[in-house]
Structure 1
Amino acid sequence: MIFDLQSGETPKEITGDVCVVGTGPAGVTLALELARKGRSVVLLEGGGEAYEESSQALYEGAVIGHGHIDVAASRLRQFGGTSGHWTGLCAPLDALDFETRADIPHHGWPITRADLDPFYARAHPYLDLGPYRYDWEDWRSIVPFPALPLDPTKILTDVYQQSPPTRFAEKFMETVRADPKIACWTHANLVDVTLADGGDVVTSVAVRTLDGRATTVKAKTYVIACGGIENARILLNARKQRPAGLGNEHDLVGRFYTDHMTIETSMLLFRDDVDTRLYPTSLKYDGAEILMGLKVHPDVVKARNLNNNSAFLVADYGDAVYSDDFRNYGWVAFSTMLKTFSRGHVPDRFAERTCDVVDDLGSVATGVYRHALRRVLPEKPAQAFRLRQDAEQAPNPDSRVTLTADTDPFGLQRIALDWRVTNEDLLRLRRTHQFIGEQVGAAGLGRLQLGVSDPPDPDIAYSGYHHMGTTRMHADPRQGVVDADCRVHSTKNLYMAGSSVFTTGGCANPTLTITALAIRLAEHLAVSA
């Protein structure tokens, strides 16, 4: 059921077995899984059922570190959360991402990839993905195009799957509305967390609307699932009983902020007779839309002190008709609206997106024209490929979310994001590209033009808007905010869900892992809550 805290009589108290704060992929998945197991869930959403400027403004904050990032527009404060504008690319984290590495401090989770595998498989239907298969060997006999003939002990063909992308509001809002075990309250902003006097048990959370209504939620267990930035902000603002912030006894909340460095650089130039048809575009086979990239073998990654990385090949056709240089904000708005209308829905932020299209009409017109020409012109093989990646960063405690003196309408302090892009991260990417080029050359396939300089230029790195790591998971409370079950170490019944618990970011987009962790958490809470 869905209720609006801004409409009708305000309840004095709302109760349930589990209170989940946030309706993005983590929160909605968790609520649905718990409801199926018979638990009553209070699901809180600070925004409305659709986009609202007044609610979205609560996400405003400062950027004080590396630029090329945003803290407000990159997130959505509405039912479905940021799934309302994610791009849909999915892959599980690699086994390497969970391992402790002697060459990279703070690397490693208290769980393994094998621990998550069954939950990754269960996450696939939530995201409208195909079969849970990410090994190229599982697709080789199905896909008619060959992989590049590179030494598999050095370079792997990496497989990703493409979600439509799934919009959780479109797919699950009516399911939540019809579920008697879920009481979802919109415009219900979490403003405080109360512990039992002198204790470590959360007894209630305070909720308010922007128009001044207030109530209290009481449950046996509480889960904060508001994203990699907001999760930290909520804990840091909860200082009424914990002066440093809830869970922040070791000054870890907000630290280890990590993102994917979105970088498109370096150029692979292949011989004319090399078959590259597997790589430039996504392919649809066996109920899945898949996209392939090149990945350095994990043994080589460790031996050469590299970060994990998957490089996609972006075709450079040498002909403007085949160029995608029109894909900026206007085209993204236009294509998003077109896809949403094709599914029978009205796009969220319709007026804003229409303004983006009108403001950038030249690029939109160019895109439409080129797509039309591509349908009638013969397919042209690419001459070269740029390497595009969401490159991993090593865990860095100095990369962090902190509070500023500015406050929002509820009196909560806003955030400052100090995203650190280090020279070492960029130099590791440079060495990764060099190694790929060496292997392409050794196989006689072509050569690489290296695009990462030494010393590196940090301006080549843009945010992937994958906010991770700010309430990181670790078995030791002096090194992490939550334990292997996502429980805040210093409490008995408060949990964090979403990408804030990531210990490393790997090079996979985080939504599949977020959803898998939510299902895993639901299994735990169904027994313990």
Structure 2
Amino acid sequence: MISDLRTGGAPAEIEGEVCVVGTGPAGMTIALELARKGRRVVLLEGGGDAYEDDTQDLYRGEVVGHRNIDVANSRLRQFGGTSGHWTGLCAPLDALDFEPREGLGGFGWPIRRADLDPFYARAQGYLDLGPYRYDWEDWRRIVPLPALPLDPSRVITDVFQQSPPTRFAEKYHGAVEAEPRIDCWLHANLTDVRLAEGSNAVSSLSVSTLEGHVATVRAKTFVLACGGIENARILLNARAQRPAGIGNEHGLVGRYYTDHMTIEATTVLLADSVDARLYSESQIYDGAELQFGLRLTPELTKRERLTTNSAFLVPQHANEIYSTDYRNHGWIAFSSMVKAFSRGHMPDRLAEHYCDAVDDLGSVATGVFRQVARRVAPPEAAHVFKLRQDAEQAPNPDSRVYLIDAKDRFGQNRIALDWRVSADDLLRLRRTHELIGQAIGAAGLGRVQLGIAETPDLDMAFSGYHHMGTTRMHSDPRRGVVDANCRVHSVENLYIGGSSVFTTGGCANPTLTIVALAIRLAERLAATA
């Protein structure tokens, strides 16, 4: 059932067994899983069914560190959460990502990849993906295109799957509306987390509409699933009973913010005889849309003390109709509108997207022409590529989200995001490219021109808008905010869902792992809540 707290009949008291805050991939998955297991769930969403300027304004904050990032437009405060922005690329984290590694401060997760595998398999369905197979050996006999013949002890072919992408608002609105065990409230903005007197347990949440209708939510168990920035902001603002904020006894809430460094650099020049189509085009087989990249083996990554990275080969065609240099804000806005209309939906932020497209009609016209021209032009094999990646960063406690004096309409402090990108982050990526280049040269396939200097330009790194790590998972409360079960160490019945619990980021888009962790958390809560 879905209701709106703005309506006159909204109650002052709302009760359930489990209260989940946030309707993005983490919160929606947890609520649906719990309901299917017979639990009564209160599901809270601060926004409405669609984009609203005054609601979205609550996400506004400051950027004080690396500037190639955003704190408001990268997120959506509405039903379905930021899945409305998601591009859909999926892969599980590698087993190495969970292990303590030198060069990353020795940090590792308190769980292992094998602990998540059963939940990754179930997450595939939530995201409209194919079978749970992400090893090239699983696809080699199905996909007819050859992999590059590189030394398998050094470089391997990495497998990703492409979601449509799944928009949680579109796919699951009907399921939430029809589920009698889910009591979903829109425009229910969380304004306070209250602990029971004399205990380490949450007793209730205070929620409010922008118009001033307030309510109290009571449950046995509470889950914050509001994203890598907002989860930290909520905990830091909950200072009425704990002056430093809930869960912040060791000053860790908001710290270790990490993101993926989106970088397109380094040129790969392959011989004319080399067939690289596997890497330059998506492939659809066995119910899955696949994309392939190049990655160093886990053993080499560990030995070289590198972060993980999967490099995609972006073709650089001689014929300009194959160029994608038109893909700026105007084209993306136009494309978003077209995709929404094609699905029979009114686009979110229609006026904003329309203005962006009109302001850059040249790019839009170029993009439309090239899209049409490619359908009739003879195919052109590419032999020059750029390496594109969402590269991992090493955890850094100085990279952080913190409160500032400015407040929103509820009197909650806004945040500043101090994203740190270091020269070491980029030098690890440079070394990765160097090793890939050595493997390509040793195989006689071509050569590589490094695009990252020995004194790297930090401005080449852009945010992947993958907000991670601000309530990180660790078995030691002095090194993490939540334990291996995503429970806040210092609160008996408060859990965190989403990428803020990631201990390290890996190089995979976080959404598949977010959903897998959500299913795992729901299993635990269904058994104990």
* TM-score, normalising length: structure 2: 0.99
The 5-angstrom pairing of residues 427-506 of structure 1 reads 427-506=427-506
Letter in 1 for 2:322: Y
Q: Displacement of 1:336 after TM fit?
A: 1.9
1:355 aligned residue: 355
Please state whether the residue corresponding to 2:219 is helix, strand or coil.
strand
Q: Distance in 2 between matches of 1:106 and 1:82?
A: 31
Please state whether the residue corresponding to 1:42 is helix, strand or coil.
strand
1:298 aligned residue: 298
CA contact (8 A) 2:4 2:10 kept: no
CA contact (8 A) 2:101 2:305 kept: no
Q: Distance in 2 between matches of 1:363 and 1:8?
A: 47
Q: Displacement of 1:308 after TM fit?
A: 0.3
The 5-angstrom pairing of residues 292-441 of structure 1 reads 292-441=292-441
For structure 1, which segment, 374-383 or 35-44, has the greater mean C-alpha deviation from structure 2 after superposition? 374-383
2:160 aligned residue: 160
For structure 1, which segment, 351-360 or 160-169, has the greater mean C-alpha deviation from structure 2 after superposition? 351-360
Q: Displacement of 1:387 after TM fit?
A: 0.2
2:524 aligned residue: 524
Q: Displacement of 1:462 after TM fit?
A: 0.2
Q: Displacement of 1:359 after TM fit?
A: 1.5
1:193 aligned residue: 193
CA contact (8 A) 1:472 1:503 kept: yes
User: Alpha-carbon deviations, 1:477-520, whole Å to 9, x = none?
Assistant: 00000000000000100000000000000000000000000000
Please state whether the residue corresponding to 1:409 is helix, strand or coil.
coil
User: Alpha-carbon deviations, 1:399-431, whole Å to 9, x = none?
Assistant: 000000000000000000000001111100000
2:144 aligned residue: 144
Q: Distance in 2 between matches of 1:453 and 1:423?
A: 10
Q: Distance in 2 between matches of 1:60 and 1:318?
A: 42
Q: Distance in 2 between matches of 1:259 and 1:365?
A: 33
Letter in 1 for 2:201: V
2:79 aligned residue: 79
1:7 aligned residue: 7
1:100 aligned residue: 100
Q: Displacement of 1:356 after TM fit?
A: 1.6
2:63 aligned residue: 63
For structure 1, which segment, 396-405 or 318-327, has the greater mean C-alpha deviation from structure 2 after superposition? 318-327
Q: Displacement of 1:218 after TM fit?
A: 0.0
2:52 aligned residue: 52
CA contact (8 A) 1:107 1:394 kept: no
Tell me if 1:222 matches 2:222. Answer: yes
2:263 aligned residue: 263
Please state whether the residue corresponding to 2:280 is helix, strand or coil.
coil
The percent identity for this pair of structures is 70
Q: Displacement of 1:383 after TM fit?
A: 3.0
CA contact (8 A) 2:103 2:306 kept: no
CA contact (8 A) 2:25 2:511 kept: yes
Please state whether the residue corresponding to 2:339 is helix, strand or coil.
helix
Q: Displacement of 1:337 after TM fit?
A: 1.9
CA contact (8 A) 2:196 2:203 kept: yes
Q: Displacement of 1:98 after TM fit?
A: 0.2
Q: Distance in 1 between matches of 2:318 and 2:400?
A: 41
For structure 1, which segment, 343-352 or 278-287, has the greater mean C-alpha deviation from structure 2 after superposition? 343-352
Letter in 2 for 1:124: Q
Q: Distance in 2 between matches of 1:314 and 1:234?
A: 40
2:17 aligned residue: 17
2:26 aligned residue: 26
Q: Displacement of 1:103 after TM fit?
A: 3.5
User: Alpha-carbon deviations, 1:238-275, whole Å to 9, x = none?
Assistant: 00000100000000000000000000000000000001
CA contact (8 A) 1:18 1:42 kept: yes
Q: Displacement of 1:278 after TM fit?
A: 0.3
Please state whether the residue corresponding to 2:17 is helix, strand or coil.
strand
Q: Distance in 1 between matches of 2:106 and 2:413?
A: 29
Q: Distance in 2 between matches of 1:338 and 1:286?
A: 28
Q: Distance in 1 between matches of 2:281 and 2:414?
A: 41
User: Alpha-carbon deviations, 1:209-242, whole Å to 9, x = none?
Assistant: 1001101000000000000000000000000000
CA contact (8 A) 1:90 1:512 kept: yes
Which ranges in structure 2 are unaligned for 5 or more consecutive residues? none
Q: Displacement of 1:203 after TM fit?
A: 0.3
1:42 aligned residue: 42
Letter in 1 for 2:64: I
CA RMSD of aligned residues (A): 0.8
Which ranges in structure 1 are unaligned for 5 or more consecutive residues? none
Q: Displacement of 1:106 after TM fit?
A: 4.5
Q: Displacement of 1:344 after TM fit?
A: 2.1
Please state whether the residue corresponding to 1:133 is helix, strand or coil.
coil
Q: Distance in 1 between matches of 2:117 and 2:469?
A: 21
Q: Distance in 1 between matches of 2:106 and 2:446?
A: 38
Q: Distance in 2 between matches of 1:507 and 1:398?
A: 21
User: Alpha-carbon deviations, 1:263-296, whole Å to 9, x = none?
Assistant: 0000000000001010112111110000000000
CA contact (8 A) 1:318 1:383 kept: no
For structure 1, which segment, 185-194 or 104-113, has the greater mean C-alpha deviation from structure 2 after superposition? 104-113
User: Alpha-carbon deviations, 1:368-387, whole Å to 9, x = none?
Assistant: 10111111110011130000
1:231 aligned residue: 231
CA contact (8 A) 1:468 1:500 kept: yes
Q: Displacement of 1:330 after TM fit?
A: 1.5
**Number of aligned residue pairs:** 529
1:277 aligned residue: 277
User: Alpha-carbon deviations, 1:29-82, whole Å to 9, x = none?
Assistant: 000000000000000000001000000000000000001000000000000000
Q: Displacement of 1:24 after TM fit?
A: 0.2
Q: Distance in 2 between matches of 1:214 and 1:174?
A: 26
Please state whether the residue corresponding to 2:180 is helix, strand or coil.
coil
CA contact (8 A) 1:237 1:413 kept: yes
Q: Distance in 2 between matches of 1:92 and 1:372?
A: 35
User: Alpha-carbon deviations, 1:450-484, whole Å to 9, x = none?
Assistant: 00001111000000000000000000000000000
